[in-house]
Structure 1
Amino acid sequence: MRGKRSKQYRKLMHQYALAFGHREPYQVLLDAGIIRAAANFKMRLGAMLANTLHGEIKPLISQCCIRHLYDYETATPEQEREKQEWISVAKQAERRRCGHHELEKPLGAMECVMSMVDPKGSGGNKHRYVVATQDEGLRRALRGVVGVPVVYVKRSVMVLEPMGAVTARVKEGGEKGKLRAGLTSLRPAGTGMKRKREDEEEGEGENGKRIKPETPQPVQPKLRKAKGPKGPNPLSAKKKSKTLPSSQDKPDDNKLSTRKPATKPHLSPSSPTADTATAIPAETTAEDENQRKRKRRRRPREGNSEETQEGAEAVAVAGAVAV
């Protein structure tokens, strides 16, 4: 089977399943004509039906149709052998009672199959049969019944007939009804198409006052960066040389040091708060001042030993003069 035809048949059976409830395994009702045609073209009837309908099948045959195969007259041994092959194929299908077994002669395929597909004449396929037949009159009658897929063999090719006009009309009406039902189910119960303005535009606050909903602010679109020439790679660029600050740019330490000394000055006896302060002996204060005024002696350098001796002699002379 070609891909295009296979796709059409799959879509057609999907429509039958949605609109009329056909499901796998499909109940395929056979007649004597299609069994003989499949044997003449050396076709495997069950496999071809499954490929055409794109699913599992359940072959069925009526009592009248299998009696037609038994009553077929043969004149040669080859025809008799073919007849036995037809009967063996028919026996693999499930026999379905049609109610005509009490008659002396079986009914024709058209009358028997139509009585099984539409027993009450209501124009509907009650049991969801798929009919496989070679009778043109039967196929013409089945086009007037709603929801009946029809299969036949034409030049060693199994064909699935397109949907009939009556079936297509009923399918479209069902789809429109589902659409209307979906729209009506979305409406609130007990109201028409209009809605209350208060429920839509206003609400109630905590104190029972009506509050208007806030107007939605327009969303500002994101600004895109303007494309332009890019700068140099900072990793490959030459680093700038650091310039030493000049003497004028250096900050004055005296100006910046606004912090007061942590140590408090000693209170003198002449100060107004001398009565409350503790008395400090004069001898200890004089010694402390002499120690504070005494200069630090620099440690002599190791390299210049002569200069160090001269400096030490000058310091000794200065001390003797002061005494």
Structure 2
Amino acid sequence: MAQFEMTFGFRGPYQVLIDAQVIQDTEKFKMDLVGGLERTLSGKVKPMITQCSIRHLYLLKEVPQSTKEALILTAKTMERRRCNHHVLDEPLSTLECFNSVIDPKNSLTNKNRYVVASQDEDVRRYCRGIKGVPLVYVKRSVMIIEPMATSSVNAREGMEREKFRSGLKTRATELVGKRKRDEDDGDPVTGERQQVKSITEGDEKAGKKKKAKGPKGPNPLSVKKSKKAKVGEQNDQKEETRRGGILDEALGDPDAGERQETRDPVTDIIDGAFDETQDRAAKRKRKRKHKSE
């Protein structure tokens, strides 16, 4: 029934047209008619019977009276589908009655979405030619639903093709409208091209190699020089200046004394300390005399 629901719009509870022979066979095999229909159709059902089918039960002759009464009682529990044939002296056959109920205009469509439960092969053959008619019958105490008929399958495929075409047309209309909006906005690049462009630019950026990051060396201009080296340079300069002054004085330079007098007193202190250090180092280097034995 899922195929009939998607294609022809069937909904529960399903309206099931039942003929007199189905009622007789289910009573014969001690079957639950409504329960069997619900299990077969996988949903709630609304059993219906025509006026002609009830008259067929009343006209049974080769059936015991008790059985006939039980069959009529079962039929009365169902919803009566008026076929307007009760005015006739004799009821119509099941085929003629069902034809007037299912497809009165011979349009080959199941307008009211009936499910047909019939034991008559002629009735089922006729209903197979109408699009969208599920068929149910009883065989050896088993209730069976027939596969979808060829007419119904063709109708389903035609509807699917129509939906596919309408989807393509809708998509084409949306694309044309989008292009027109882009042209009106002055943007020659459509949304799809813009997407391709962004993907290409992303690939190019990803392809560029990035420089390896790591710890950088200190700025040489911001490095503080060592104090020891600076003090050593100052001492060397002072020593050269002092020695130069002594040499100039020995050679008779008249300005040597002035340069010597203008020296910084701090420099003199440093020089004195340096001389004392030199004298101590010389004394340590003297060899000690060992006593002879």
Query: Does the pair score TM above 0.5?
Result: yes
In the alignment, structure 1 residue 126 sits paired with structure 2 residue 111: yes
Equivalent position to 2:18, from 24, 30, 51: 30
Structure-2 change in CA distance of 1:82 and 1:184 (3 Å):
same
Deviation of the 1:83 alpha carbon: 1.1
Listed one character per residue, the Cα deviations across residues 135-184 of structure 1 (whole Å, up to 9, x for unaligned) are: 00110111000100000001111110111111100110001100111111
In structure 1, C-alpha distance between the alignment counterparts of 2:94 and 2:113, rounded to whole Å: 18
Structure 1 residue ranges without an equivalent (≥5): 1-12, 204-212, 222-251, 258-323
Q: Deviations over 1:263-299 (max 9, x none)?
A: xxxxxxxxxxxxxxxxxxxxxxxxxxxxxxxxxxxxx
Q: Which AA in structure 2 matches 1:48?
A: G
CA–CA distance in 1 between the matches of 2:131 and 2:66? 39
TM-score by length of 2: 0.63
The 1:202/1:50 distance shift into structure 2, 3 A limit, reads: closer
Q: Give the 3-state SS of the residue equivalent to 2:201 in structure 1.
A: coil
Question: What is the alpha-carbon distance in structure 1 between the residues aligned to residue 83 and residue 175 of structure 2?
Answer: 52
Percent same amino acid at aligned positions?
45
Task: Within 5 Å, give how 1:145-164 maps onto structure 2.
Answer: 145-164=130-149
How does 1:81-100 map onto structure 2 within 5 Å? 81-100=66-85
Counterpart residue type for residue 125 of structure 2: R
Where does the alignment leave 5 or more consecutive residues of structure 2 unmatched?
192-196, 208-225, 232-293
Contact 1:187 1:193 in 2 (8 A): no
**Structure 1 residues 256, 119: closer, same or farther in 2, change over 3 A?**
farther
Of residues 159, 168, 171 in structure 2, which corresponds to 1:174? Answer: 159
The SS at the match of 2:75 is: helix
Alpha-carbon distance in structure 2 between the residues aligned to 1:148 and 1:202: 49
Q: For the Cα contact (< 8 Å) 1:74–1:80, is it kept in 2? A: no
Q: Which residue identity does 1:35 align to in structure 2? A: I
After superposition, where does 1:201-280 map in structure 2 within 5 Å?
201=189, 215-218=200-203, 254-255=228-229
Note if contact 2:179-2:190 (Cα within 8 Å) is conserved in structure 1.
no
Deviations 1:176-205 (A, max 9, x none): 1001111111123694999889855379xx
Aligned mate of 2:89, from 99, 104, 108: 104
Aligned partner (choices 122, 137, 140) of residue 125 of structure 2: 140
In structure 2, what is the Cα distance between the partners aligned to 1:193 and 1:159? 53
Q: 1:94 to 1:194 in 2, by over 3 A?
A: same
| 1:9-45 deviation digits (Å, cap 9, x = unpaired) | xxxx111011111110000000001000111111000
Indicate the structure with greater helix content.
2
- How far did 1:217 drift? 2.6
Q: Which residue of 1 aligns with 2:56?
A: 68
Q: What TM-score, normalized to structure 1?
A: 0.58
Task: Give secondary structure in 1 for the equivalent of 2:110.
Answer: coil
1:44 equivalent in structure 2: 32
